[in-house]
Amino acid sequence: MTIIPPALRPPRPFPTTRRRLALALAAVTVVSLAAAGPAFANFWTPESGGSPNADRIHSLYVIVLVVAGVVFFGVEGALLYALFRFRARKGAVAAQIRGNTRLEIGWTIGAAVILVVLATVTFIKLPGIRNPDDSGPGGLQTAGAPILTAQVDNRQPPNGKSLRIAVNGQQYIWRYTYPDGDSNTLNNPFSYTEMVVPTDTTVTLDIRAQDVAHSWWVPKLGGKFDAVPGYTNHTWFKIPAKFAGATFAKGTVFTGQCAELCGRNHANMIARVRAVTPAQFEQWIAQRKSDVAQADDTAAAGRKKLDAQLNGQ
Amino acid sequence: MATTEIARPAASAAVPQIAAHDVRPERTGWTSWVTTTDHKKIGIMYLVLTFVFFIMGGVEALLIRLQLSQADNTLLTPQKYNELFTLHGTTMIFLFVVPVMAGFGNYLLPLMIGARDMAFPKLNALSFWLLAAGGVVFYASIFFSPPECGWTCYTPLAESSYLPSGGVDAWIYLIHLTGLSSLIGAINFYATIANMRAPGMGWGRLPLFVWAILVYAILLILALPVIAGAVTLLLTDRHFGTHFFDPTSGGSPLLWQHLFWFFGHPEVYIMVLPGFGIISEVIPVFARKPIFGYKAVAASTVVIAFLGLLVWAHHMFSTPSPTVVLVFFMMSSFLIAVPTGVKIFNWIGTLWRGTIEFTTPLLYCVGFIGTFLIGGITGIFVAIFPIDWQLTDTYFVVAHFHYVIVGGAVFAVFAGVHYWFPKITGRMMSEPLGKLSFWLVLIGFHVTFFVQHAIGLDGMPRRVYEYPDVGHLELYNLISTIGSFILALGVGVIVINVVRSLKRGAVAGPDPWKANTLEWFTQSPPPVNNFDTIPRIRSVEPMKDIRREVARQADRLAALQPAATVASMGPETQGTV
């Protein structure tokens, strides 16, 4: 019987049973992690559900997560296997290998191919995320009416109709200005902190800032868009009809907050979006309009009184 | 531990010797440190000073984590909180990770290439003292009003109308002074590597750490002038009536972001490339195998640096930018993943079929690969701009860049500290304490930062001093805080190990690890002139060649004169012939 010294033995091939075991372990880990997902909502994925673009970002993220998971388990597995299998033992001799050009080219191309696949998926998904959808049939039905504006200087849905709201970031509050159909924006209805929008209606936002940089973000309605002074940024969302309530107060409220450091009170620069039915929305807009008009009248009357007092003296 | 080598036989002068003589008596006492131009002393001062800043940045991080351990916590005021994260980020980047690499470079680079000092020793001392001055100027602001605009100091928030106090100015002078320090240091590294290599050390035999320092120097030279210009514009905006970044007078806040990140992203590679270099030195030593694909590892360093100059606007995906810009920077960020992946594969390839000795430096290298990989993978998520719209400026990004910078640089620094401590001090660090520190750091790090991905996905932005108790936010944040204290404990063990080993560590001898590079071909610690004779370099592993040569001559001698002249000497007497 000849005894081959360990150094001269050919390296043992990866035993198939062990390979099966490793695969099974990886599969169990993946499955249990996937199962843990729903238990801890948003542990593994970004928030979504309030708007198609947020949902599409979510599904793109999930695809990337799966690819990333495969890469993670593959590389960490190879690392741990190497550490376990090739630890210093009596009689073991390190193979003096200096490299392998074919292997180098292979894993370079392999990495590139994965990235090409991810880029392709991204480009397929991109238009649905970036470009607004048309409003649904249950949306604000005032086609042709001035409240839905067709514009060319921002991204619009294919039919060119959306509810276009101006978002203005300022230390430390968000202000929303709603369209009223005329070119004078000084008398438009507006609100602070809480934006009210009709469901099933495409809402496009013109995001600006008046002091420092802020960032508009309501996670369930899609990504962040910075409000940078001197620039206008754009995004959109369309909240499904199911989120509106029977009454105005029962409408679902989506919360978010400023995501760009804007000063000491950055943490409290909250944004809320209340989803209501188109009818409730129109009613609310009318109410805001009359409130604004009434406040203007009161102010005008007060000014007149003050003028009279000053002139009388 | 002790290397066994052969005593010089009287007749034969051909046996390679570790021999060095002091040329002049060395100065002693504190003046010897203040006036020194010796690259080793400067290197030690760099390492000590940057570790002091590391501890300070760490304390700031712990305060931040304490504030966030509970929802709606009132431990810190919003102002104090903003100051703390600004100090933390600025300290860790400008006063720890970048200069600590210069510290390793200073100490090791001349030794590794067989030079007696850096090309410009006085400039080298100037680099160090400019760094110290930058740190002093910046930290002096804590007695007045520290900056509170984050380490990025975005305009218009950093303009004097919003932050009139001197904190931002202290930050600007920190950038100028540390920038000048790094720039001078970089020119010095470049000149040293280009001109002072040992005979026979062509570009293909340069140690990979030296390759990394070379590319680090080039990146610093390319990127630092841009930030120096940008902060000068900010300074004139703040004090001399210009409006470069003021939108109300025709300036542009986005210009600041472009200039900042044109520097800021290469800065990431400035921080991690020397770390990659350390890993590429340590792994082959303890796998007892040559590095797998030397050329691929060196080339990927260069490619990463080149691509690193072309990805800056991926920090700006949520700004008002045209789609073509977003697509370009997504694709360039994708590209950079390829050479980075190649490096990881080559490190694993080096471990493959080796005989791995699980010393503390190797453990930190392995922790580095496993951790940095996660940072690289989450980097793909944030490179895809529609996904980044959800992730940017949240705790997901905080987790991502800590995986990259702690995984890619700090783990490597710890590997380097444990690996080169015997060379620097002449004594070994304690292995049990080293292993304890490794497990505490590894576990502490992942407990702190892994859960932060989920915090970000749950909708918590970064840089907020408080958060509401919704969902699992409070639980996740508490886990993260607990992890940060485990991590701090691990760093504490490293400090204890260093201090204890200075006096009580086992005497190391010139080459305790049986390493590959030239710094082990001299005493530990090396004498002022480093080497009396510089061997001719015949491969990328000169020490391996030398050991082989010594063994061959020993065999020959043993064959000629059995037993008598072949003696094993204690390591401490070696080299002091």
Length of chain A: 313
A43-78: per-residue pLDDT in tens? 899 999 999 999 999 999 999 999 999 999 999 999
CA distance B210 to chain A (A): 19
- For position A188, what pLDDT does the model report? 87
Question: Could you say which of B369, B389, B393 has the minimum Cβ distance to residue A57?
Answer: B389
Residue type, B138: F
- For the cut 80, the answer to whether the pLDDT of residue A190 exceeds it is yes
Q: Residue with structure tokens 């400008």?
A: B94
CATH number for region A163-309: 2.60.40.420
Catalytically active residues of B, by annotation: 88, 117, 151, 181-182, 265, 267, 269, 280, 314-315, 340, 343, 462
Q: Which residues of A touch B318 (CB under 8 A)?
A: 215, 223-226, 233, 259
Between chains, do B386 and A225 touch, taking CB under 8 Å as contact? no
Please tell me which residue of chain B has the smallest CA distance to A93: B355
Between chains, do A125 and B386 touch, taking CB under 8 Å as contact? yes
**What span, in angstroms and rounded, lies between the C-alpha atoms of A311 and A303?**
12
Nearest to A176 by CA among A185, A184, A167: A167
Angle at A169 between CA A166 and CA A170, to 5 degrees: 135
Angle at B68 between CA B67 and CA B70, to 5 degrees: 95
**What span, in angstroms and rounded, lies between the C-alpha atoms of A130 and B10?**
82
Q: Residue with structure tokens 């001299």?
A: B522
**What span, in angstroms and rounded, lies between the C-alpha atoms of A256 and B33?**
54
- Name which of A48, A63, A86 to mutate to probe chain B: the one with the most chain B Cβ atoms within 10 A of its Cβ: A86
Nearest to B101 by CA among B203, B220, B252, B18: B220
Question: Could you say which of A98, A231, A264 has the minimum Cβ distance to residue B82?
Answer: A264
Q: Which residues of B touch A105 (CB under 8 A)?
A: none
**What span, in angstroms and rounded, lies between the C-alpha atoms of B189 and B175?**
20
- For position B1, what pLDDT does the model report? 40
- For position A151, what pLDDT does the model report? 47
Q: Which residues of A touch B348 (CB under 8 A)?
A: 75, 78-79, 82
**What span, in angstroms and rounded, lies between the C-alpha atoms of B340 and B563?**
52
Is residue A293 very low, low, confident or very high in pLDDT (cuts 50, 70, 90)? confident
Given strand A173-177, what is the order of strands in its sheet? Answer: A190-192, A173-177, A163-170, A203-209, A233-237
Taking one residue from A and the other from B, the number of pairs with CB-CB distance under 8 angstroms is 246
Average pLDDT of the segment spanning B199-224: 96
- For position A27, what pLDDT does the model report? 74
Question: Residue B85 contacts by C-beta under 8 Å, 6 or more apart in sequence?
Answer: B60, B64, B150, B463
Number of H helices, E strands in chain A: 4, 10
What DSSP string describes B458-515?
A: TTPBSS-S-----TTHHHHHHHHHHHHHHHHHHHHHHHHHHHHHHHHSPB--S-TT--
- For the cut 70, the answer to whether the pLDDT of residue B206 exceeds it is yes
- For the cut 90, the answer to whether the pLDDT of residue B515 exceeds it is yes
Nearest to B93 by CA among B405, B448, B539: B405
- For the cut 50, the answer to whether the pLDDT of residue A135 exceeds it is yes
Q: Which residues of A touch B463 (CB under 8 A)?
A: 261, 266
- For the cut 90, the answer to whether the pLDDT of residue A28 exceeds it is no
Cis previous bond, B525, omega within 30: yes
- For position A49, what pLDDT does the model report? 92
Q: How many CA atoms lie within 13 A of B310 on its CB side?
A: 15
Tell which B residues from 310 to 349 touch A, by Cβ distance under 8 Å: 318-320, 323, 330-331, 334-335, 337-338, 341-342, 344-346, 348-349
Between chains, do B156 and A217 touch, taking CB under 8 Å as contact? no
Question: Residue B418 contacts by C-beta under 8 Å, 6 or more apart in sequence?
Answer: B359, B360, B361, B364, B429, B434
Residue type, A4: I
- Which of B17-21, B160-164, B319-323 shows the lowest per-residue confidence on average (mean pLDDT)? B17-21
CB of B219 closer than 8 Å to CB of B213: no
Between chains, do B457 and A45 touch, taking CB under 8 Å as contact? yes
Percent of chain B exceeding pLDDT 90 equals: 88
- For the cut 50, the answer to whether the pLDDT of residue A143 exceeds it is no
**What span, in angstroms and rounded, lies between the C-alpha atoms of B79 and B149?**
10
Burial B69-97 (b: 16+ CB within 10 A, else e): bbeebeebebeebbbbbbbbbbbbbbbbb
Supply B9's token pair: 């036989």
B329-386: per-residue pLDDT in tens? 999 999 999 999 999 999 999 999 999 999 999 999 999 999 999 999 999 999 999 9
Question: Residue A21 contacts by C-beta under 8 Å, 6 or more apart in sequence?
Answer: none
**What span, in angstroms and rounded, lies between the C-alpha atoms of B118 and B111?**
10
Query: Which domains does chain B possess?
Result: 35-573 (1.20.210.10)
- For position A138, what pLDDT does the model report? 84
- For position B4, what pLDDT does the model report? 47
- Which of A205-214, B46-55, B560-569 shows the lowest per-residue confidence on average (mean pLDDT)? B560-569
Contact of B147 with chain A, judged by CB distance below 8 Å, is answered with: no
CB of B180 closer than 8 Å to CB of B156: no
CB of A221 closer than 8 Å to CB of A239: yes
- Name which of A228, A262, A268 to mutate to probe chain B: the one with the most chain B Cβ atoms within 10 A of its Cβ: A228
What's the Rg (C-alpha) of chain B?
A: 25
Higher pLDDT among residues B415 and A28, named by residue: B415
- For position A32, what pLDDT does the model report? 64
**What span, in angstroms and rounded, lies between the C-alpha atoms of B399 and B390?**
14
Number of other residues whose CB lies within 10 A of the CB of residue B161: 13
Average pLDDT of chain B is: 92
Domains of chain A by residue range: 14-90+100-130, 163-309
- For the cut 80, the answer to whether the pLDDT of residue B21 exceeds it is no
- For position B519, what pLDDT does the model report? 95
- For position A15, what pLDDT does the model report? 52
CA distance B342 to chain A (A): 6
- For position B14, what pLDDT does the model report? 60
In angstroms, how far is CA A156 from the centroid of its own chain? 19
CA distance A141 to chain B (A): 30
Is residue A186 very low, low, confident or very high in pLDDT (cuts 50, 70, 90)? confident
CA distance A33 to chain B (A): 13
Contact of B354 with chain A, judged by CB distance below 8 Å, is answered with: yes
Instruction: Say whether A275 sits in a helix, a strand or coil.
Output: strand
Between chains, do B338 and A112 touch, taking CB under 8 Å as contact? yes
Between chains, do B353 and A97 touch, taking CB under 8 Å as contact? yes
CB of B281 closer than 8 Å to CB of B274: no
CB of B464 closer than 8 Å to CB of A265: no
Is residue A6 classed exposed, middle or buried when 0-12, 13-18 and 19+ CB atoms within 10 A define those classes?
exposed
Contact of A124 with chain B, judged by CB distance below 8 Å, is answered with: no
Q: Residue with structure tokens 């034969």?
A: B12
B387-401: per-residue pLDDT in tens? 999 999 999 999 999
Question: Could you say which of A104, A231, A263 has the minimum Cβ distance to residue B293?
Answer: A104
Q: Residue with structure tokens 């007060």?
A: A302
Q: How many CA atoms lie within 13 A of A6 on its CB side?
A: 10
Question: Residue B121 contacts by C-beta under 8 Å, 6 or more apart in sequence?
Answer: B37, B38, B39
- For position A258, what pLDDT does the model report? 96
Q: What is the CATH architecture assignment of A14-90+100-130?
A: Orthogonal Bundle (1.10)
Listed in sequence order, the DSSP H helices in B240-322 are: 253-287, 294-308
- For position B40, what pLDDT does the model report? 96
CA distance B391 to chain A (A): 8
B153-202: per-residue pLDDT in tens? 999 999 999 999 899 999 999 999 999 999 999 999 999 999 999 999 99
- For position B23, what pLDDT does the model report? 58
**What span, in angstroms and rounded, lies between the C-alpha atoms of B338 and A114?**
10
Number of other residues whose CB lies within 10 A of the CB of residue B309: 15
Given strand A253-257, what is the order of strands in its sheet? Answer: A194-198, A270-276, A253-257
CB of A162 closer than 8 Å to CB of A149: yes
Strand A233-237 relative to strand A194-198, pairing: unpaired
Average pLDDT of chain A is: 86
Is residue B571 very low, low, confident or very high in pLDDT (cuts 50, 70, 90)? very low
Between chains, do A264 and B319 touch, taking CB under 8 Å as contact? no
A96-131: per-residue pLDDT in tens? 989 999 999 999 999 999 999 999 999 999 999 999
Contact of B556 with chain A, judged by CB distance below 8 Å, is answered with: no
Between chains, do A267 and B348 touch, taking CB under 8 Å as contact? no
Average pLDDT of the segment spanning B208-213: 97
**What span, in angstroms and rounded, lies between the C-alpha atoms of B304 and B273?**
9
Higher pLDDT among residues A21 and A35, named by residue: A21
